[in-house]
Amino acid sequence: MDVKNRFHTDGTYLLMRAEHVAVVGICAVLTLMHLGKVHWPRFIIAFVIIDLLGYIPGAIAYRRRGGGHISVVYHYLYNITHSYLVAMAAVGVWALTIEGFEWAMLAMPIHLPGDRGLFGNVFKPLALSFEPVAATLEVQSGYGSHAGTVQISAAGDTA
């Protein structure tokens, strides 16, 4: 994947997911090491609010439409609430509010890479279904007399 080829191969997608799972593991170990110092109500709220605001509304709308097209607002809600930048800003405001950092803040770096690493969920492109559905795209391959078009399904199959 690079600036000209914005897709993963099976191998690079697996590496991306493995890296995120490692982050989840590190943050989970840190949380367990400081179990008695975690403010659990705030941890649970921080963990759940991401999906409560960003995923659940879109999932409900998607199911109500029978899996059809839904408003892009739901894609934006998901992408905003599942952004590392938004999570860092939220943790920053949280830290300023309580005048310091706390172990409960690890809920966010457990949730976001958990979605990416364990479930394979990344940002939701507006042109694709809100929930995973195999799509097909065409890409140009080769150079000169070896150039051609290859169809790649979201499942990684080529035709």
Distance of CA 145 to the CA centre of its chain: 39
Each residue of 98-126: pLDDT tens digit?
999 999 999 999 999 999 999 999 999 99
pLDDT attached to residue 153: 55
pLDDT attached to residue 49: 98
Cα angle value 80/9/67 (rounded, 5°): 50
What is the dihedral angle through the alpha carbons of 140, 141, 147, 152, rounded to the nearest 10 degrees?
A: -70
How far apart, in whole angstroms, are the C-alpha atoms of residue 81 and residue 57? 12
pLDDT attached to residue 8: 83
With a cut of 70, which residues of the chain have pLDDT below it? 1, 136-159
Domain boundaries, the chain: 10-126
pLDDT attached to residue 158: 46
